[in-house]
């Protein structure tokens, strides 16, 4: 990154689905002690999509406030990161581009590497802005996390989208210094094309995640990255929020720092407020953590925060960002709070009914009921084509 050109996140917006299943309701159905979810996983609820919600509708809803505030001019690239894509060929971002009314002279791509993809998109965007500081790049992470019914992973499900406008002279965060990188060929979590839900090796996944924390941090420091004491907060990918605390313990141990439980809680707890009630949002997860940190702390002006992005399989990156002075004036805390609090609470039977449905694959014309509370919806499937429109 050029030392004389600040590049980073100028604006940030979150959206989730219209429905929510509390973990107390899940525990009531399966007979589990709810503490298994609240304390063991650190999860309290999961977002559930309606029939007419998916990664496209969430992505467009997350990005719309950015376009409304800053206008569409100079948005020359849309990068949509997801691991729950709606098409094996067409980028989901093309639908978003249309819904937002962006200009035709726009580059649109989809990025995939499990939960890490949005961070690759962020670095891609930074490179484009570095080459031409007039450009503004829209990076969107959008995912619906689903596991087999009655499986251990079911309690970690969720859905959300995070949209970032990447520019020169950003208002929120400036990307700084090197990145620490780590890749290992492991089978901790994967979804073959013939499966609707992923396969998970839970113990292997935790071990692979912690190995990636150590590897990415060591690479970051080997390139002259900042010492641990220079960081004011840390954001981690949160497949469930207790994993962020495990990850930070691993980072402290790797850095040779004293493990202080009070300090660990102070570093990580402010980042979990969205993830604990939305559930795992895959590519969006670490950026929900970042949003929570910015909204829950008022002492970050000019301070450096660390982000650890992990995607199973596995690819990880540790990066540093400097919070820009006056950042709180640019946050969207009220809108984000409403997006979470306005979800309709459903019972397990309703959730199960939604999960057991699937879109028709016969190529016929199938209208979908209007259930979403959001600004965009999937209205129909016709001739194997998904039809989206403003709600």
Task: Just list the catalytic residues.
Answer: 83, 115, 237
266 contacts 244 by C-beta, under 8 angstroms: no
Angle (deg, nearest 10), helices 261-268 and 241-254: 120
Beta strands 231-236 and 315-323, pairing class: unpaired
* Residue 113 falls in which region: left (phi positive, over 0), alpha (psi -120 to 50) or beta: beta
277 contacts 349 by C-beta, under 8 angstroms: no
Residues 241, 188: Cα–Cα separation, whole Å: 18
3-class DSSP assignment, residue 218: helix
Q: Which of 323, 314, 218, 262 is nearest to 8 (CA)?
A: 323
Q: What are phi and psi of 327, to 5 degrees?
A: -60, -30
Distance of CA 46 to the CA centre of its chain: 14
Q: Which of 380, 351, 322, 368 is nearest to 17 (CA)?
A: 351
Stated as kind and residue range, the H or E segment containing 145 is: strand 136-145
Residues 21, 69: Cα–Cα separation, whole Å: 32
Residues 84, 336: Cα–Cα separation, whole Å: 23
Q: What are phi and psi of 261, to 5 degrees?
A: -60, -35
Residues 286, 318: Cα–Cα separation, whole Å: 11
Q: What are phi and psi of 109, to 5 degrees?
A: -140, 160
């Amino acid at each position: 990154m050029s030392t004389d050109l600040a590049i980073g996140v100028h604006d940030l917006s979150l959206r989730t689905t219209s429905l929510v299943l509390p973990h107390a309701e899940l525990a009531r159905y399966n007979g589990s002690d709810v503490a298994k979810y609240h304390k063991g996983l650190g999860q309290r609820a999961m977002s559930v999509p309606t029939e007419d919600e998916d990664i496209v509708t969430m992505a467009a809803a997350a990005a719309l406030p950015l376009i409304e505030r800053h206008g569409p001019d100079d948005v020359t690239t849309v990068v949509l990161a997801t691991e729950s894509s709606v098409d094996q060929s067409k980028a989901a971002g093309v639908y978003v581009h249309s819904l937002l009314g962006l200009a035709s002279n726009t580059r649109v791509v989809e990025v995939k590497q499990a939960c890490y993809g949005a961070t690759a998109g962020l670095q891609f965007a930074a490179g484009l802005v570095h080459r031409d500081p007039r450009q503004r790049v829209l990076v969107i992470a959008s995912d619906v996390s689903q596991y087999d019914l009655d499986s251990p992973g079911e309690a970690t499900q969720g859905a959300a989208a995070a949209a970032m406008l990447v520019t020169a002279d950003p208002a929120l965060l400036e990307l700084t210094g090197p990145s620490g990188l780590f890749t290992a060929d492991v089978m901790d979590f994967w979804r073959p094309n013939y499966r609707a839900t992923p396969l998970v090796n839970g113990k292997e996944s935790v071990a692979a995640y912690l190995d990636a924390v150590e590897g990415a941090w060591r690479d970051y420091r080997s390139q002259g990255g900042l010492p641990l004491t220079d960081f004011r907060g840390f954001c981690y990918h949160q497949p469930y929020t207790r994993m962020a605390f495990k990850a930070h313990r691993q980072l402290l141990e790797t850095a040779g720092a004293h493990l202080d439980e009070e300090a660990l809680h102070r570093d990580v707890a402010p980042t979990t407020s969205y993830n604990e009630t939305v559930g795992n949002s895959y590519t969006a997860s670490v950026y929900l953590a970042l949003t929570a940190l910015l909204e829950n702390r008022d002492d970050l002006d000019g301070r450096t925060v660390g982000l650890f992005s992990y995607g199973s399989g596995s690819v990880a990156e540790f990066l540093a960002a400097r919070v820009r002075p006056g950042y709180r004036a640019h946050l969207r805390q009220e809108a984000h709070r409403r997006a979470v609090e306005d979800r309709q609470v459903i019972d397990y039977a309703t959730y199960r009914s939604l999960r057991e449905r699937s879109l028709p694959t016969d190529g016929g014309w199938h209208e979908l009921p209007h259930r979403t509370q959001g600004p965009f919806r999937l209205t129909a499937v016709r001739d194997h084509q998904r039809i989206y429109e403003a709600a």
